[in-house]
């Protein structure tokens, strides 16, 4: 055997011994390469989620008074807020402020002059005279006046009582008897005084009291003729000297209301701010605004880090679980490393697409929060991955994205139901399509599923027809964008 033949023989034997090991090394390279791709997929998806969480769109409390609250909200920090006095407090304050009446001193002077003139005419009048001194004055009135006040002493005593009564105040006949006291204002002397209601009388009651006392003093019988005179005097001679002032009364009550103290209410972390389905009150709006201000004022870095760590850890566990299931499944398409990388990129883009939609809707378009979940593209990943791979992949990734969104959502149950329903319907609607037109037509089935879920939630909060119409419009617009 020649040297060349020997070397060739030994090389062949060596290759036969090393062959299995080399083939094993080549086989080992593929799993290690796949592990790198899978790790890249996990990191990419988790990074997209963390970015969305760090730069979460600003939620604006767009509730208005008397609006039905779409979602329950809870306090994230301890805070307190102040509210003004209640309606009961205002009612008691107004009740404590008496009505203000203006005291007119000239009325008493005019009444005094008119009564003296009437007595002068009565003294001049003689029975049998057809012409009477005043309108509506009868003969029996004149006779009674002569009997009661014919002498100067009697007239002087009565006028003195009349003056004292007017100084106390004569009120209108229709004055509310529930008012216990009032404030009278004398503009001439610039004085105010509180007058008990018991010291005040309407004209008829006042003159009847005066004449009754006069009759008792001079032993005159208080008969029907005296009663008729009382009616005449109260209607044609005497008049109130206290007139109600709406302006002064209103100003006094406003001043009393302004002096009422505010209530300070403390809210602890975790306490409900508003409850779903209730009608928003003015206090609810104040509470939400105070909570937003407290969040800006008390941003605790430690609390933010704790929240980010907690949500990020939960998201990482969910991502690893879904990725392990997908990569270990028997789906043929997922045996290729390039396909796995593409799956991770599309999932990350779906998360960022949802974040961008929320950002534009809330902070650019200032859309109402009530319809936010209707415009989120839950079916985007499901539709794309179903077209590229199969429905099971689309539904699985769509549900995974929904679970990630529920971690940081204000209403996790709502978003879970809506997201999973949208993903499943979106996947099944495009599983047999072959052309772009079929994709567009099939993708529009998804808003019907969204509308069905949203209609149930709207019914729970007793929404009006306009809310159903808006939800249907928003869901069709969102799904049309996804389809395009």
What is the per-residue pLDDT for 264?
83
The answer on pLDDT for 13 being more than 60 is: no
Across 263-282, average pLDDT? 78
What is the per-residue pLDDT for 426?
78
Across 359-368, average pLDDT? 72
What is the per-residue pLDDT for 228?
86
pLDDT digits (tens, 9 = 90+) for 140-156: 878 888 888 878 888 88
| φ, ψ of residue 434 in degrees (nearest 5) | -130, -20
CA distance 71 to 258: 35
Q: Of 460, 381, 466, 369, nearest to 427 (Cα)?
A: 381
Contacts of 371 (CB under 8 A, 6+ apart): 470, 471, 474
pLDDT digits (tens, 9 = 90+) for 320-349: 888 787 777 777 666 677 777 787 888 888
Which contacts (CB < 8 Å, 24+ apart) does range 35-39 have? 37/337, 37/340, 37/341, 37/344, 38/323, 38/327, 38/340
Across 213-218, average pLDDT? 84
Ranking 314-318, 358-362, 462-466 by mean pLDDT, the lowest is 462-466
The answer on pLDDT for 113 being more than 70 is: yes
Sign of CA dihedral 343, 348, 349, 355: positive
Helices 337-359, 3-54: crossing angle, 10 deg rounding: 10
Tokens representing 52 are: 């969305």
What is the per-residue pLDDT for 4?
44
pLDDT digits (tens, 9 = 90+) for 448-469: 777 777 777 766 655 556 666 6
Q: Are 275 and 69 in contact (CB under 8 A)?
A: yes
For the chain, what percent of residues have pLDDT higher than 70? 70
Neighbours of 459 (CB within 10 A): 11
pLDDT digits (tens, 9 = 90+) for 366-395: 666 667 777 777 778 888 888 777 888 888
Q: How far is CA 327 from CA 188, 242, 322, in A?
A: 98, 94, 9
Tokens representing 242 are: 């206290």
The answer on pLDDT for 27 being more than 50 is: no
Which contacts (CB < 8 Å, 24+ apart) does range 112-118 have? 112/159, 112/162, 112/163, 114/237, 115/159, 115/162, 115/233, 115/237, 116/155, 116/159, 118/145, 118/237
Choose between 482 and 235: higher pLDDT. Answer: 235
Ranking 20-34, 276-290, 322-336, 347-361 by mean pLDDT, the lowest is 20-34
Choose between 101 and 28: higher pLDDT. Answer: 101
Helix (H) or strand (E) run with residue 242 in it: strand 242-244
The answer on pLDDT for 311 being more than 60 is: yes
Which contacts (CB < 8 Å, 24+ apart) does range 217-220 have? 217/157, 218/148, 218/154, 220/147, 220/148
What is the per-residue pLDDT for 11?
53
The answer on pLDDT for 252 being more than 80 is: yes
Domain locations in the chain?
A: 33-62+301-483, 91-255
Contacts of 270 (CB under 8 A, 6+ apart): 74, 75
pLDDT digits (tens, 9 = 90+) for 432-447: 777 777 676 666 777 7
């Amino acid at each position: 055997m020649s040297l060349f033949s020997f070397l060739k023989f030994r090389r062949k034997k060596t290759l036969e011994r090393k062959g299995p090991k080399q083939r094993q090394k080549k086989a080992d390279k593929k799993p290690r390469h796949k592990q790198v791709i899978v790790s890249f997929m996990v990191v990419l998806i988790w990074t997209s989620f963390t970015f969305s969480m760090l730069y979460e769109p600003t939620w604006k409390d767009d509730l208005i008074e008397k609006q039905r609250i779409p979602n329950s909200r809870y306090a994230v920090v301890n805070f307190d807020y102040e509210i003004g006095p209640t309606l009961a407090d205002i009612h008691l304050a107004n009740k404590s402020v008496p009505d203000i009446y203006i005291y007119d001193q000239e009325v008493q002077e005019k009444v005094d002059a008119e009564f003296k003139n009437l007595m002068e005419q009565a003294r001049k009048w003689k029975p049998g005279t057809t012409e009477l001194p005043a309108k509506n004055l009868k003969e029996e009135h004149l006779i009674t006046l002569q009997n009661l006040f014919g002498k100067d002493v009697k007239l002087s005593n009565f006028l003195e009582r009349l003056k004292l009564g007017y100084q106390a105040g004569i009120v209108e006949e229709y004055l509310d008897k529930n008012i216990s006291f009032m404030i009278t204002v004398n503009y001439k002397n610039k004085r105010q005084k509180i007058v008990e209601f018991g010291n005040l009388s309407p004209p008829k009651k006042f003159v009847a009291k005066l004449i009754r006392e006069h009759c008792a003093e001079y032993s005159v019988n208080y008969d029907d003729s005296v009663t008729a005179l009382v009616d005449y005097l109260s209607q044609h001679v005497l008049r109130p000297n206290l007139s109600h002032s709406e302006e002064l009364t209103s100003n006094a009550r406003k001043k009393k209301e302004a002096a009422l103290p505010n209530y300070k209410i403390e809210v602890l972390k975790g306490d409900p701010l508003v409850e779903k389905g209730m009608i928003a009150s003015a206090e609810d709006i104040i509470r939400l605004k105070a909570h937003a201000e407290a969040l800006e004022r008390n941003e605790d870095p430690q609390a933010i880090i704790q929240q980010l760590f907690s949500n990020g850890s939960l998201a990482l566990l969910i991502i690893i679980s879904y990725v392990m299931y997908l990569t270990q499944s028997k789906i043929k398409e997922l045996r290729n490393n390039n396909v796995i990388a593409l799956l991770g990129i599309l999932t990350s883009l779906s998360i960022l697409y949802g974040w961008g939609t929320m950002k534009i809707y809330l902070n650019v378009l200032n859309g109402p929060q009530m319809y936010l979940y209707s415009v989120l593209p839950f079916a985007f990943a499901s539709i794309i991955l179903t077209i590229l791979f199969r429905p099971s992949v689309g539904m699985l990734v769509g549900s995974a994205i929904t679970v990630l969104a529920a971690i940081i959502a204000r209403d996790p149950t709502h978003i879970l139901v809506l997201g999973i329903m949208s993903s499943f319907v979106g996947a099944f609607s495009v599983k047999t399509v072959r052309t772009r037109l079929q994709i567009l037509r099939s993708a529009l089935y998804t808003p019907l599923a969204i509308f069905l879920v949203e209609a149930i939630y709207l019914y729970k909060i007793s929404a009006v027809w306009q809310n159903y119409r808006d939800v249907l419009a928003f869901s069709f617009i969102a799904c049309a964008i996804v389809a395009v």
